[in-house]
Amino acid sequence: MRELSRSGMIERSIIRKFRKTLWNPFVAGVKRYELIQAGDKIAVCMSGGKDSALLAKLMQELYRHSDVPFELRFIVMDPGYDTEIRRQIKENAALLDIPALYFNSDIFQKVLKMKGAPCYMCARMRRGHLYGYAQELGCNKIALGHHFNDAVETVLMGMLYGAQIQTMMPKLRSRNFQGMELIRPLYCVREDDILAWARYNSLAFIQCACPLAQGGAACGGSKRQEVKELLGQLRRGDGDVENRIFQSVHKVNLDTVIGYKQGGKDYTFLDRYDMPRGEEL
């Protein structure tokens, strides 16, 4: 039997050792949220971190085995990384046998000129550049590496710091790039299982390359870290708490919601309070 390459061993670990924790929930999420259709050309966005690296390998495996015909492009945007980070990203892509396409932007230069912690604007600019480059490649979708825990944390962050109930959607249509869509294929994959895969294969990825965070400045990510720690405390008392939060936004009971927004318009329960049953909005 021919000895597998390092890349081959990493691929096999996804299908065999981590089949229940990575491959199965990945495929389940793709099917549940109808993320991929025949004829799609998807740009898989790689940031240099563990999540997008696993996403790239899972999408690569799905492409090889799926009955649904689609195309993939793997793209890496350099927003102003230093030489060492860029080198590590390229080495990891080569190690994982990912044929990545690289392009540059000046986002970090712009971020450093902004006041405060411009995390929101940075994220918007990064996404805009990714959409634009993917569109140049003829893609109709970009795939990002947000996972189950990101989705759960977003629910709590919206409630605790945004005074609203909102979710990180598994897919979204772009408002500014006609015909483009964002998908999150790791939506049902848990971060601990991604970490286990990386450790098992002795893989090292970049953590945070943000120049503000590296300089010690406060970052919007600190709020997410607070929520991570809160969930960690809750999980120690109840191991299923994150799953219930995740399921709760799939089962919203509008009969008991005081107010909500739809299509940019605000509604309250009073708008339908006096309507006969069966005639609600």
pLDDT single digits (tens) 110-130: 877 777 667 777 888 889 999
What's the pLDDT score for residue 120? 75
Position 54 scores a pLDDT of: 98
Give residue 211's pLDDT: 65
Looking at every residue in the chain, the average pLDDT score rounds to: 91
Query: Cβ distance 44 to 72 under 8 Å?
Result: yes
| Average of per-residue pLDDT across 48-62 | 97
Question: Structure pTM?
Answer: 0.91
* Residue 24's pLDDT band (cuts 50, 70, 90): very high
pLDDT tier at 94 (50, 70, 90 boundaries)?
very high
pLDDT at 31 over 60: yes
Give the tens place of pLDDT for each residue, 259-270.
Answer: 999 989 999 999
Phi and psi of 70, rounded to 5°? -150, 170
**pLDDT range class, residue 165, cuts 50, 70, 90:** very high
The 10s digit of each residue's pLDDT in 209-221 is: 666 665 545 455 5
Cβ count within 10 A of residue 256: 7
pLDDT (average), residues 240-256: 95
pLDDT at res. 216: 47
- Residue whose pair of structure tokens reads 């964002």 in the numeric block: 182
Question: In the predicted model, is pLDDT for residue 100 greater than 50?
Answer: yes
Quote the percentage of the chain above a pLDDT of 90.
76
Q: What percent of the chain has pLDDT over 70?
A: 92
Instruction: Specify whether domain 6-250 bears CATH 3.40.50.620.
Output: yes
pLDDT in the model for residue 221: 57
202 pLDDT tier (thresholds 50, 70, 90) = very high
Mean pLDDT of 237-261: 94
Q: Where in the chain is the domain with CATH 3.40.50.620?
A: 6-250
